[in-house]
Homo-oligomer: A and B are copies of this chain.
Amino acid sequence: MKKLINDVANVLAESLDGFAAAHADLVQLDEERKFIRRKSLKGGKVALISGGGSGHEPLHGGFVGHGMLDAACPGQVFTSPTPDQMIAAAEAVDQGAGVLFIVKNYEGDLMNFEMAKEMAGRDIETVITNDDVAVEDSLYTTGRRGVAGTLVVEKIVGAAAETGQDLQTLKSLGEKVNKRSRSMGIALTSCTVPAAGKPTFSLGDDEMEMGVGIHGEPGRRRVKLMPADAIAEEMIVAILADLEAAKSSPVLLFVNGFGGTPAMELYLMYHAAAGALARRGVKIARSLVGSYVTSLDMAGCSLTVTALDEEMISFWDAPVHTPGLRWGM
């Protein structure tokens, strides 16, 4: 295992401390490292809290700030945060207008966020993301996995929350964005969890995993390495087959790197995916390209297509000021 680390036991703590120090103008790390919170809270606003296993940075901690999350709870690598983290985060950022949990559909996360909701004694609602079309059930989920579409939910609901929308309205909006977002990923290499010290799975020199999950979970099938155009074509076909709304709505095309893939390849994949959409008459209205929902050092990428409407476009364009996503201010 080759990583820029000291002791595997301290990877998360040292990385969180570095993150909090580098972005001290925007965020604060709880003393016990239970959560990352927005430095300046906005009174009267519904508090948005997300979280999940670490190793997907900048998701979720990197999306704490104006126009996105109020707090994020980092679990150990690829491991759900514990309920006490979400309870402490809610205590810290609840402004009296209620709390919205945004949770990726993994059994551990669902269980722990649900437990936190029951124990917190607050007005809490939950939006569950499950945008991955690759597989129906999977290693860690009943139903579909929540992947990069979660960023889109956090951005759009985050912008709506800044305008003062109430908890139920935000929950409905989050469910709408999730329903109109579909993703699929592929891996060229495995990731390596620091504590495990070896790759999560093995791929031959000429193989790739089609439909991989963001923890290196198996996808649809193991195939020979394909050209970028063919990869994008298969992913876009799978996504559009499940996203009726893209036939009549402009879309956001989000090309997401998994951590080990450079920008040059992501932009080439954007070109390939945009071509696949254009051939089907789908109009791209917004774009995002970068490594935002990662899987440690895995090489590969995912495509997310979100069918937009005017409300969603307006919230997507709204100012955001977080360590990982920043525009308009």
Contact = CB atoms under 8 A, between A and B. Distances in A.
Contacts of A328: 329
B264 A11 contact: yes
Interface string A222-259: 00010111010000000000000000000000010001
Given A4-B301, A297-B261, A14 B268 contact: yes
Given A22-B287, A271-B17, A228 B5 contact: yes
Interface stretch (A124-132, A148-156, A288-296): A288-296
Contacts of A261: 4, 260, 297
Nearest to A259: B262
Contact of A327 (B262, B272, B289, B326): B326
A58 interface: yes
A247 to B, nearest CB: 21
A217 to B, nearest CB: 18
Contact of A18 (B188, B270, B326): B270
A261 B4 CA distance: 8
A287 B11 contact: no
Q: Which of A55, A270, A271 has the most CB of B within 10 A?
A: A271
A186 to B, nearest CB: 8
A324 B274 CA distance: 20
Contacts of A4: 188, 228, 231, 261, 265-266, 268-269, 300-301
Nearest to A5: B228
A205 B2 contact: yes
A306 interface: no
A327 B57 CA distance: 20
A57 B263 contact: yes
A9 interface: no
B22 A264 contact: no
Nearest to A231: B4
Contacts of A55: 262, 264
Nearest to A4: B265
28 contacts: A2-B188, A2-B189, A2-B205, A2-B299, A3-B188, A4-B265, A4-B266, A4-B300, A5-B227, A5-B268, A6-B228, A11-B264, A14-B271, A15-B264, A15-B267, A15-B268, A19-B267, A21-B274, A22-B255, A22-B289, A54-B264, A57-B262, A58-B263, A260-B262, A263-B291, A264-B296, A297-B299, A326-B326
Given A14-B271, A16-B267, A262-B291, 17 more contacts: A2-B188, A2-B299, A4-B300, A5-B227, A5-B268, A6-B227, A18-B269, A18-B270, A18-B289, A21-B270, A21-B287, A23-B287, A259-B263, A261-B297, A263-B294, A326-B327, A329-B329
